[in-house]
């Protein structure tokens, strides 16, 4: 049996924003969801704020995990742009590049989204911090699978933020106009999202590469259901080529992130310049997707 509790106020305290979290009765919750909830409520207190929902029913092994989900109050609820980043890390390390970078950029954008005002938020934007990505995309999979079909159909697309500041990184836009290696065909519309990222970076004269659209992050469960997806990533355990070193700087023959899934994935492990321009790119694409009436999924 699950019990409903309010997580974003101190236990027992009532706050200005309504919402509940369904907490599993037995298992401990992993991850800083309380702190994130507090930050979100600060953003939600402002005009055109966010509505917070937390689902904590992704159980794995002896622990459970939480998805933190916040919707804009404005925007067409029948046309939802889901922007997601995984909040967990591997037990081996603190996970600052993977995925503190994506989670922090998403929180920063969530805090600013109200600035789009009345006309800028045509579509509803849903911010999602996924749990248990490292355990096999469990939080995002749970979310997509447990949504009633009618709710799932309201999701126009997913933008994923995972590893945005690899220290020896590249700027790799998800290759949404190509089928995946894993067998899931790229949903129509993924190429349009790819183009939005490419056009933005081109306008800033910033080089881009392509990242294989293989579903190896939380957009995977979305494309499996045919929901178009996109994003940008800076590379994990892969090794930088000479051509990439020419284009992006950094060192050829070395991993994009030598501290990938390791103890040394600390604050010093982030390429702040790369993170900054990628944050701009994601913010731009999300703003465009929030404003546009043109459907990317036809
Ligand atoms: N999802 C992988 C991880 O968290 C890495 C990854 C990031 C893969 C971005 C593809 C795109 O370890
Ligand atoms: Zn990881
Ligand atoms: Zn990751
Ligand atoms: Zn492409």
Query: Probe ligand 1: pick from 163, 215, 229, 269, max atoms within 8 Å of CB?
Result: 163
Predicted local confidence at residue 293, as pLDDT: 64
Structure tokens at 20: 């509940």
Residue 113 has a pLDDT of 85
Lowest mean pLDDT: which of 47-56, 127-136, 215-224?
Answer: 47-56
Q: What percent of the chain has pLDDT over 70?
A: 79
- pLDDT band at residue 114 using 50, 70 and 90 as cut-offs: confident
Distance CA 82, CA 157 (A): 6
pLDDT tens digits for range 25-36: 344 444 556 667
In this prediction the ipTM stands at 0.94
Give the Cα separation of 17 and 5 in Å (integer).
Answer: 13
Q: What is the 282 CA–ligand 3 centroid distance (Å)? A: 16
165 CA → ligand 2 middle, Å: 13
Distance from residue 163's CA to the centre of ligand 1 (Å): 7
Helical residues (DSSP H) of 236-271, grouped into ranges: 242-248
pLDDT for the residue numbered 7: 30
Reply yes or no on whether the pLDDT at 194 is more than 50: yes
Asked whether the predicted pLDDT for residue 202 surpasses 60, the reply is yes
Nearest alpha carbon, ligand 1 atom 12: 134
| Per-residue pLDDT reduced to its tens digit, 36-86 | 777 777 777 766 667 766 655 555 566 677 888 888 888 899 999 999 999
**Residue 211 pLDDT level (bands cut at 50, 70, 90):** very high
Model pTM?
0.87
Record the tokens describing residue 180, joined without a space. Answer: 């995946």
Q: Among all residues, which ones are annotated catalytic?
A: 133
Nearest protein CA to atom 9 of ligand 1, as residue: 162
Pocket of ligand 1 (CB under 6 A): 98, 133-134, 162-163, 211, 216-217, 233, 236
Instruction: Measure Cα distances from 267 to 72, 108, 144 in Å.
Output: 30, 17, 31
> Residue 38's Cα: distance from chain center in Å?
19
Structure tokens at 253: 């023959």
Contacts of 128 (CB under 8 A, 6+ apart): 67, 68, 69, 82, 83, 84, 85, 140, 143
Does pLDDT of 4 surpass 60?
Answer: no
């Amino acid at each position: 049996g699950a019990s409903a509790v309010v997580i974003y106020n101190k236990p027992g305290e009532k706050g200005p924003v309504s919402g509940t979290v369904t907490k599993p009765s037995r298992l401990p919750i992993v991850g800083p969801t309380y702190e994130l909830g507090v930050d979100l409520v600060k953003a939600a207190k402002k005009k055109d704020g966010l509505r917070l929902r937390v689902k904590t029913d992704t159980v794995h092994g002896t622990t459970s995990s939480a998805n933190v989900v916040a919707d804009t109050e404005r925007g067409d609820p029948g046309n939802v742009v889901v922007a997601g980043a995984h909040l967990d890390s591997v037990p081996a390390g603190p996970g600052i590049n993977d995925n503190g970078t994506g989670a922090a950029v998403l929180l920063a954008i969530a805090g600013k989204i109200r600035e789009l005002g009345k006309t800028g938020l045509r579509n509803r934007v849903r911010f999602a911090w996924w749990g248990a990505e490292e355990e096999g995309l469990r939080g995002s999979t749970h979310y997509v699978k447990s949504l009633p079909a009618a709710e799932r159909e309201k999701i126009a697309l997913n933008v994923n933020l995972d590893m945005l500041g690899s220290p020896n990184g590249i700027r790799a836009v998800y290759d949404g106009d190509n089928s995946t290696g894993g067998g899931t065909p790229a949903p129509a519309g993924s190429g349009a999202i790819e183009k939005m990222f490419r056009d933005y970076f081109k306008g800033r004269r910033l080089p881009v590469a392509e990242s294989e659209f293989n579903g190896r992050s939380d957009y995977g469960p979305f494309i499996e259901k045919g929901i178009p997806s996109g994003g940008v990533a800076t590379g994990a355990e892969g090794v930088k080529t000479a051509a990439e070193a020419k284009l992006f700087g950094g060192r050829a023959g070395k991993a994009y992130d030598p501290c990938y899934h390791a103890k040394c994935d600390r604050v010093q492990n982030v390429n702040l310049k790369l993170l900054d321009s990628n944050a701009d790119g994601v913010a731009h694409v999300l703003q465009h997707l929030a404003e546009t009436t043109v459907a990317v999924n036809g």
